[in-house]
Structure 1
Amino acid sequence: MSIKPKKKAIRKVMMIIYLVIIALILGVGIYVGYIYYKADAAIQRVAAPKLADDPIGNVKKESIQPMTFLLAGVDSRDGADGVMNTDVLMLVSFNPQTHSASMLSLPRDLLLKPKSLPSRKSNYYYAYYYIKDKSEAIPNTKRFFSDLLGFPIDHMVVLNFDALRQTVDALGGLEIDVDMDMKYNDSADGTHIDLKKGLQTLNGQQVLDFVRYRKSNQGTRESSDFARNDRQQQVIKQIIEKLGDFQGISQWGNVLDIIGENVKSDIPESDLQQWVYNFPKIKPNHIRSLQLESSWKSPYVYVKKEDLQQALATLRDEAGVSSESRLNLEAFGLLD
């Protein structure tokens, strides 16, 4: 007499389990569809067609091929000293076959001596082209650095400070081991940096302060470009790692909105789709950070020739670029 009720109870429990599984599958499917919708919307805002007269990166590639891009983080705030100067300048090679990448940070104060333009810090040239003609700033800057570095850069990506700050906030902050006390105030552009040394969770504004900090007017130690570049790469790796965990995945919709609002590029829409859909396969331990040993001789930073040559050779290998084009060493400030 008691067996039938037990069987009914078991069937009821199994039915509930099946319904829960179906609901989860439907929920995941709806969320995936939502993410694809958000991704497509962001891609349309970020992407731009290649210019017909731009030979750099204008050769058609299969989507599976490696590629190289110049990443620039710009200060576009009203009232900032040197608006549109690149506070971050990074050369990145991405290999979708191996889901790996290599990053080389160029010091913002690195002396560049091009023949066609005046000698300036590396952070000057995007602003120069932007002021001259903002619609041509990306292709002209990309061509400029391609000529100096000796190999074609496929694309350029420009993001403003809000992209980093808002992304970190959407992800709930980043756990950062701050390497030193950092204090700096500038009422003219609204910069107020006040970070204590040690492991802590930083919000978006604090992470931005962490990667930007160079000098102090409040008694703390100044930071070298080498340490600053290392912090930038550390933050990028942490963001990629966090986007892959459960909390990060749940925020992809918000992050894609942020990217759409704050990032511009010359990447065609079809290529950008391949980048976005391959992004989840990239793991932080497959990202190689390349550094240049540098020395400050006011007002410029100088780098070692051997470091520069070796770093660019690594990027060439990652991107599958031949070494036929030569690095224009005369255009760089080099250590004796």
Structure 2
Amino acid sequence: MSHDAIPASTQEDSPASHGGRGKRKEGRKRRRGLKITLVVLLVLLLAAGGTAWWLWSRLDGNITGVDINKALGEDRPEKLPTSGQNLLVLGSDSRAGAENKKLGGGGAVSGARSDTALVVHIPEGREKAVAVSIPRDTLVTRPECTKGDGSTVPTQNRVMFNSVYSQVGPACVVKTVEKMSGVRIDHYLEINFAGFKGLVDAIGGVTVDVPEDIHDKSSGLDLTAGQHRLNGTESLSYVRTRHGIGDGSDLGRIGLQQQFLMALLSEVKKQDLLGSPTSAYKIANSATKSLTTDEELASLTSLAQFARSMNGVDPETMETIMLPVAYDKVDPNRVVAAEPQATTLWKAIRTDSAIPASAKKSPATGG
């Protein structure tokens, strides 16, 4: 019998045939194992995606939006002739909530005022920025505004700037800034005491160079001149102190606020957020849960896109100045915009051009 004439039944029972059958079984097992692995990976990815969505939606839900455009209507300054942007950033002294009440120093003060106000101008190209502080004691003309309940508040002269927030609300603060400056405000951001403290604590504190000894009996802040690492509570006291430095006025603490802002931005920029998702979430949660923005920025997606567009702005090159002011002739405890410096400053921002040195001089501070 020829070797080629082996019966079929004998071929199936041959060792070689068993080997082939074994390989097919192993192949099926491998394919089945691969399918199981893919299913497990898919479940894990879906679970991770679900967790990411939950975290994202939680952060998204932290943000409060204010429809500034609807509240102000069409009677507003023209937008910048370039791709530059103007932001109004407010630090609110609201005592709402137990933590804000505690950080604010008790419950004797009702309502809320704009404790800190900055007009941040980002020129075309977005590689630098200018932050203009508006002293809270500045006397301004509050324009006619509409409250949240639809009622109208008539225009009023010689109103303290920081009282506009408590009297009418954030949209009226934006309108007041636009009327006094002629600058169109593109976006609005507000953070309260608790949010500020939480953000500083989330990034592990901020290092500042204290220019002179500070002994503020009102806040309990006691710092010697030199470098200090401040936690959230200490940082809040630092930017709010007015009795422990200079002449005890709001003008003295503006320098501390501007210095701290630069230190805070530098600290955030140094954080390895991509290398530490946990830290990134912690910081984002602290930054958003006490945040109020205009409607266009009131989502995590919009905030993230805006933040990415600002990535080229280096805190080291950011310029901080104070609105030029002079002491009011009727009430020396208040200040008014100094002219012609203030007009020159706002014109430079409106036209997205360099701010002349003359526009940065403030008679009230001798600058």
Q: Provide the TM-score with structure 2 as the length reference.
A: 0.64
Q: Does 1:299 align with 2:333?
A: yes
SS at match of 2:88: strand
Specify every segment of 5 or more residues in structure 2 that has no aligned partner in the other structure, as ranges.
Answer: 1-47, 96-100, 102-106, 144-154, 355-362
Q: Return the offset for 1:45.
A: 3.3
Q: Residue 230 of structure 2 aligns with which residue?
A: 202
**Cα 1:303/1:261, change in 2 over 3 Å:** same
Which AA in structure 2 matches 1:239? Answer: L
Q: Residue 237 of structure 1 aligns with which residue?
A: 262
Structure with greater Cα Rg: 2
Q: Return the offset for 1:144.
A: 2.3
Among candidates 291, 294, 316, match of residue 285 of structure 1: 316
Q: Does 1:112 align with 2:140?
A: yes
Q: Return the offset for 1:302.
A: 3.6
Aligned alpha-carbon RMSD (Å): 3.7
Q: Does 1:71 align with 2:103?
A: no
The count of corresponding residues between Structure 1 and Structure 2 is 277
Specify every segment of 5 or more residues in structure 1 that has no aligned partner in the other structure, as ranges.
Answer: 1-30, 130-136, 321-332
Q: Residue 86 of structure 1 aligns with which residue?
A: 114
Q: Residue 10 of structure 2 aligns with which residue?
A: none
Q: Provide the TM-score with structure 1 as the length reference.
A: 0.69
Which AA in structure 2 matches 1:106? Answer: I
Cα distance in structure 2, aligned partners of 1:232 and 1:252: 25
Q: Residue 241 of structure 2 aligns with which residue?
A: 213
Describe how 1:1-336 pairs up with structure 2 within 5 A.
41-46=58-63, 48=65, 50=67, 51-52=69-70, 54-55=72-73, 65-77=83-95, 78=101, 79-81=107-109, 83-95=111-123, 97-114=125-142, 116-129=155-168, 137-186=169-218, 191-216=219-244, 222-247=247-272, 250=276, 251-268=279-296, 269=299, 271-296=302-327, 298-318=332-352
Q: Return the offset for 1:142.
A: 1.2
**Cα 1:240/1:308, change in 2 over 3 Å:** same
Deviations 1:266-285 (A, max 9, x none): 14146434213334432113
**Cα 1:106/1:39, change in 2 over 3 Å:** farther
Indicate conservation of the 8 Å contact 2:63/2:288, yes or no.
Answer: yes
Q: Return the offset for 1:94.
A: 2.5
Cα distance in structure 1, aligned partners of 2:180 and 2:265: 29
Which AA in structure 1 matches 2:203? Answer: L
Matched residues, percent identical?
Answer: 21
Cα distance in structure 1, aligned partners of 2:303 and 2:123: 14
Indicate conservation of the 8 Å contact 1:102/1:318, yes or no.
Answer: no
By relative contact order (CA 8 Å, sep 6+), the higher-ranking structure is 1
Indicate conservation of the 8 Å contact 2:265/2:315, yes or no.
Answer: yes
Q: Return the offset for 1:36.
A: 9.4
Indicate conservation of the 8 Å contact 2:84/2:122, yes or no.
Answer: yes
